[in-house]
Amino acid sequence: MSQVLTVPRPESLVVALDEVPLPLTAEALFGRRCAFELELGVGKGRFAIAWAQAHPEIGLLGVERARKYLELAALRAARAGVGNLRLVHTTAEDLMFRCLREGSLAAVHVYFPDPWPKKRHHKRRFFRPENVSRLAEVMEEGALLRVKTDHPEYAQVIREVVGADSRFVPVSAAEAFAQVPPTHFEIKYQGQGRPVHLMAWQRVSQF
């Protein structure tokens, strides 16, 4: 007897924030209690799909501000039959400050955030003290923050800003990324011989 597989529809993977109760929870999004993880800037979905497939026990929420990329990621995820991934069209800041419960995230992935290299645009960078502080609030104790960037100056800024928050302690990037699949940009940059900076922190209690 053949088995019928249920393939999710792309639109079923996209969460409309004005149609769901806030704050978002794993139970509401995935219909079960599970480790709730977040990717900020899901792009075309390469990492999110691979990570969700490799870890069916988790629920992964991906945020993307570019609707065309969000829709492409949803289409790819649906075709791959990924049921433990949800996507939301908004900014990282809106999601963190308005839509998440404190202490709810088991892991946060931030891969190749826009470095905004011009000095007058630095205020647009994601890694600012207020955003890092909010990250610490929405992450549970023991949660991992994983970050990748190809921009050396921004990498140093990220280390300084995250390192200034006592709720984050650095951990071995080699260990934190040992089983983490590459992103689209990572494959592209490695092919160009461009170094990629890997950084990881663990959320700890504040003393």
Q: Active-site positions?
A: 114
Q: CB–CB of 136/96 below 8 Å?
A: no
Quote the radius of gyration of the chain (alpha carbons, Å).
Answer: 17
CA triple 59-115-133, angle to 5 deg: 55
Q: CB–CB of 138/104 below 8 Å?
A: yes
**Quick one: tokens of 12?**
């079923």
Instruction: Please tell me what DSSP assigns to residue 99.
Output: I
Q: CB–CB of 54/40 below 8 Å?
A: no
